[in-house]
Amino acid sequence: MVEKVYNWEDGAVLDEHSKRKHKVLREYLSEYLRVRCQHPNQERFRIAIVDGFCGAARYSCGAAGSPIIILEVLKSAAEELNIARRDQGLRPIQIDALVILNDAIPGVVELCKSNVAPILAEIKDNATNLAVDCQFLSNDFEAAYPSIKQTIQTRGHNSNVLFNLDQCGHSKVQLRTISDILSSYPAPEVILTFAIQALLTFLPKTDKDELSKRLRQFGVQIKTLDDVEECLTNKAWLGAAERTVFDAFRGFGSFTSPFSINNPSGYRYWLLHFAKNFRARQVYNDILHQNSSSQAHFGRPGLNMLSYDPDQEGLLYLFEDDDRKRAIDQLHDDIPRALANFGDAIEMSDFYHGVYNHTPSHSDDIHQAIIDSPELSVVTPNGGPRRVANTIRPGDVLKLTPQRNFFSVLFPK
């Protein structure tokens, strides 16, 4: 596949996969800020956002690119959070954001500067409770990374750090850089786009026998690497790709969401989300359900999304209502079994930590399956029972009830 080239000077075309990506970015960032700024006693939140492949910020149709999306979300979050806080009688919260916009092409950065100028002026002149320090850079992302890291450090923004790495193609971000980001900050997150060829860099492409053997395990027949293009619409291929990507990033010790951007005419682009904290993955999963059909997962719906036998099971999961019904059925079985593996009781935060890397599920579905299950109970820190799904909190304890279902005890799967 030829790498897509963006002609920003003459007007870049916004394609369908980028629209889906932008919707996820906008809603995820907005929810991220809501969740991270919700403590009643908090009066300041500092964040660094790096848009490493920022483009010129406006498409030919007039739609906003990622730099404008980031600035618009910061502005509306500062407004909305503070209106809600005022209504609750809370003190305002100030958001201090360092935004670093980088693109390899100097002319693109100049266009970006002029396209973001109105929203930056609007923030400077009219936004209360928001300060944005916007820095522009023009370099290959990998070459720019050390100085980006240095800027984050010297400006004192090195706790909450979010990198949006919307590379064209697949080869412009090194795995070691993602690993470095995830190990350099207390609360790092990365949103990474890549095209399907990236998968081949993780596969033993010089050894075609090994490659075919590996894909055959997932029910994908591939005779030569040239057949990959034909495979793109094959759901089993989607499952194989997802599992391979997940395996490639497993060593990072983070929460990795390995889902492709949904496109039935070809699963060509992946939108990966990396975080160190289960809460980030929980928010991300919930946003994908809000954007149902934007991303696609092929495999099991419950807690063990990648452990399925391609000959027996494995379905497309598009984060839609019907998928959620299947997920709840599966979670009814999976959660008691997962809990039995931990022991018979566990704090909810530890349970989330243990399961979130392996599930596409919405947090509401996990909580509903827990409340519905006769095999499970949830106890508050005061020792009382939880009876309503949306009141479950990370500090609660999840327990196996003494009257467990006979079948699950006698015939564990």
Please report, as ranges, the residues that interact with ligand SAM according to CB under 6 A. 6, 53-55, 65-66, 102-105, 108, 140-141, 166, 168, 172
Kindly report the length of the chain.
413
Residues whose CB falls within 8 Å of the CB of residue 400, separated by 6 or more in sequence, listed in order: 336, 339, 340, 344, 345, 375, 376
Q: Which residue lies nearest ligand SAM, judged by its C-beta?
A: 65
What are residue 163's phi and psi, to 5 degrees?
-105, 125
Q: What single letter denotes the amino acid at residue 85?
A: R
Cα separation, 130 vs 123, in Å, equals 7
Q: How far is the CB of 275 from ligand SAM (least distance, A)?
A: 20
Q: Which H or E run includes 26?
A: helix 16-36
DSSP-derived secondary structure letter, 90: P
Nearer to ligand SAM, 83 or 143 (CB): 143
Nearer to ligand SAM, 148 or 398 (CB): 148
Nearer to ligand SAM, 53 or 246 (CB): 53
Nearer to ligand SAM, 151 or 373 (CB): 151
Nearer to ligand SAM, 67 or 258 (CB): 67
Nearer to ligand SAM, 102 or 330 (CB): 102
Q: How far is the CB of 104 from ligand SAM (least distance, A)?
A: 4
C-alpha 344 chain-centroid distance: 31
Q: How far is the CB of 270 from ligand SAM (least distance, A)?
A: 13
Nearer to ligand SAM, 33 or 173 (CB): 173
3-state secondary structure of 143: helix
Angle (CA) 35-123-290 rounded to 5° is 35
Cα separation, 144 vs 212, in Å, equals 38
* 55 contacts 104 by C-beta, under 8 angstroms: no
Cα separation, 308 vs 239, in Å, equals 10
Tokens of 330: 């599966």
Cα separation, 167 vs 175, in Å, equals 13
Q: How far is the CB of 219 from ligand SAM (least distance, A)?
A: 32
Q: How far is the CB of 68 from ligand SAM (least distance, A)?
A: 8
Q: How far is the CB of 288 from ligand SAM (least distance, A)?
A: 18
Strands 94-102 and 130-137: parallel
Q: How far is the CB of 231 from ligand SAM (least distance, A)?
A: 24
Q: How far is the CB of 360 from ligand SAM (least distance, A)?
A: 24
3-state secondary structure of 266: coil
Nearer to ligand SAM, 273 or 276 (CB): 273
| C-alpha closest to that of 352 among 295, 392, 401 | 392
Q: How far is the CB of 100 from ligand SAM (least distance, A)?
A: 12
Q: How far is the CB of 102 from ligand SAM (least distance, A)?
A: 6
* 328 contacts 369 by C-beta, under 8 angstroms: yes
Nearer to ligand SAM, 92 or 266 (CB): 266
Nearer to ligand SAM, 48 or 104 (CB): 104
Tokens of 94: 């100030």
